[in-house]
Amino acid sequence: MIHLLQGFQTFIGSGGGHGEKESMYDIVMHHLTDHVLHSGFIGKINELYLHDKLFGIFDMRITKWVIMLWISAFLCLVIFIPVARKIKKNAYGSKSRWVNLWEVLIAFVHDEIVEPNFDHHYVKKAMPYFLSIFFFVLFANIWGLIPGMATATGNLAVTGGLALLTLIGMIGIGMIKQGPIGYWTGLVPKGVPGFVIPLMFPIELIGLMIKPFALTVRLFANMTAGHVVIIIFIYLVMMFQNYWVGIGSVAGSLMIYLLELLVAFIQAYIFAVLSAMFIGDSMHSH
């Protein structure tokens, strides 16, 4: 999300060729909004094949955040397919530090995310999905901390799409385990008087929809907030043009940057563990 190299150029003020400095709002929005790619190979694809909207509604042009999503997914495949093969060949443990590093994180997902929220015989079945969602979100979060890259999870459409998968899992698995009728009737706690059910059911239905909404906003807000603070700290250098302010700004932005590394991991964990809680709970009626 933070394009540090480009950021310093905008602070100097290209201003579309007029030498004017951009406002703080322009700089923040430049780094926090998506952009269609118009240059290079991707730009040619957008221009030649994707310039018309699909069904006249959907803009299918490739943007910088789409590229980040592709890279995150590709990274998951490149890392974990070879790691899985090595783990399978070495049933008693691999001597590779690279493999051991990922085994530790896989064990973390198993012990802290999946196992506490699913019955024992469902843990292995649930692991592939939650490993995928954890590492995909983690990689997408981290990309934004690399100059020239962008944080795809700073987009509500991305976090909303991930949260929609959780909602589908909640409803789908709930209906499979409890049956369609059992799932929807089970939204209302047992023992509630009959005359209260028409009031309780809409409330419980709204509560069901709020869960993915909370996932969407939480991940988006946390991944956006830290980047905005870093941008503001860096902007202070050019705003005041003072060495002492520059030292303080750089130190402050560095501390926030290090904090964002931790936040990237924590938010991936929170998204995965809440998804596991919601889907796990849907397997049982109230």
- Sketch the domain layout of the chain as residue ranges: 65-281
> In the prediction, which pLDDT does 127 show?
94
> In the prediction, which pLDDT does 22 show?
61
Dihedral over Cα of 87, 92, 94, 97: its sign:
positive
* Contact criterion met (CB below 8 Å) for 163 and 221: no
Closest alpha carbon to 257 in 65, 7, 79, 23: 7
The string of pLDDT tens digits covering residues 163-178 is 999 999 999 999 998 8
Angle among Cα 17, 36, 76 to the nearest 5 degrees reads 130
Q: Determine what percent of the chain is predicted with pLDDT higher than 90.
A: 36
* Contact criterion met (CB below 8 Å) for 61 and 36: yes
CA distances for 140 relative to 36, 64, 119, 143, 181, angstroms: 18, 12, 30, 5, 38
Q: Of 200 and 108, which is predicted with more confidence?
A: 108
* Contact criterion met (CB below 8 Å) for 275 and 133: yes
Reported confidence tier of residue 140, pLDDT bands at 50, 70, 90: very high
**Tokens matching residue 82:** 């070879």
The string of pLDDT tens digits covering residues 222-270 is 988 887 888 788 777 777 777 787 788 888 888 888 888 899 999 999 9
Average pLDDT over residues 197-212: 88
3-state secondary structure of 22: coil
> In the prediction, which pLDDT does 162 show?
95
Q: From CA 97, how far away is CA 151, in angstroms rounded?
A: 28
Reported confidence tier of residue 150, pLDDT bands at 50, 70, 90: confident
**Tokens matching residue 107:** 């064990």
> In the prediction, which pLDDT does 21 show?
56
Per-position DSSP letters for 222-262, written without gaps between them:
HHHHHHHHHHHHHHHHHHH--HHHHHHHHHHHHHHHHHHHH
Using the predicted structure, report yes or no on whether residue 201 has a pLDDT greater than 50: yes
First-to-last alpha carbon distance for the chain, in angstroms, is: 42
Q: Which of 200-209, 213-222, 235-244 has the lowest mean pLDDT?
A: 235-244
Question: Which residue type, as a one-letter code, is found at position 30?
Answer: H
> In the prediction, which pLDDT does 155 show?
87
> In the prediction, which pLDDT does 32 show?
67
Task: State the maximum Cα–Cα separation within the chain, in Å, rounded to a whole number.
Answer: 71
> In the prediction, which pLDDT does 57 show?
77
Angle among Cα 114, 145, 237 to the nearest 5 degrees reads 145
The string of pLDDT tens digits covering residues 181-194 is 888 888 887 777 77
Tokens 């783990």 belong to residue: 87
> In the prediction, which pLDDT does 12 show?
33
> In the prediction, which pLDDT does 17 show?
41
The string of pLDDT tens digits covering residues 10-38 is 333 333 444 455 666 666 666 667 777 77
> In the prediction, which pLDDT does 28 show?
66
Reported confidence tier of residue 3, pLDDT bands at 50, 70, 90: very low
3-state secondary structure of 36: strand
Reported confidence tier of residue 286, pLDDT bands at 50, 70, 90: low
* Contact criterion met (CB below 8 Å) for 134 and 109: yes
> In the prediction, which pLDDT does 55 show?
78
